[in-house]
Amino acid sequence: MNRRALLAAPLALAATPALASGGGGGSSTSTFFRYPTVTANTFTSDGRRGVMTVETGVDIADPALLLRAQQSAPRVRAVFNILVQREAATLLPGQPPNVDRLSRQFQSAMNIILRQRGARLLIGTVMVV
């Protein structure tokens, strides 16, 4: 069973209200793009090694900017990897990740990489296992 595929569908529907409500005016283009899951090593509450996992995507109404976000996926993933590794390295055992700080950093990085605003970053799941 592919859990990520099951999680991506509600996230995509939540990102596009017109598709979720069923009235889309005949537009078949999607404004949502999902990036690959990012992981980093950390420590769990019992002192063992653990993994921090973050799922992300963007909602972009402008088709040209959406294309640029899709083409910049390797660069975005590299920056997201660095940010998640920093967050995981600063976590104390048993402490939850600071999702607000992480989302602000991701949004700022997205704006810098795309060279303009207009991409709304969506964070799906952040967990430490």
Which string of b and e fits 10-43 if b means at least 16 CB within 10 Å? ebbeebbeebeeeeeeeeeeebbbbbebbebebb
pLDDT one-digit tens code per residue, 42-95: 988 888 899 999 999 999 999 999 999 999 999 999 999 999 999 999 988 888
Dump pLDDT digits (tens) for 116-126.
999 999 999 99
What's the chain's average pLDDT? Answer: 84
- What is 3-23+30-128's CATH number? 3.30.479
Domain extent listing, the chain: 3-23+30-128
Whether residue 121 contacts residue 110, with contact meaning beta carbons closer than 8 Å, is answered with yes
Place of tokens 């409500």: 21
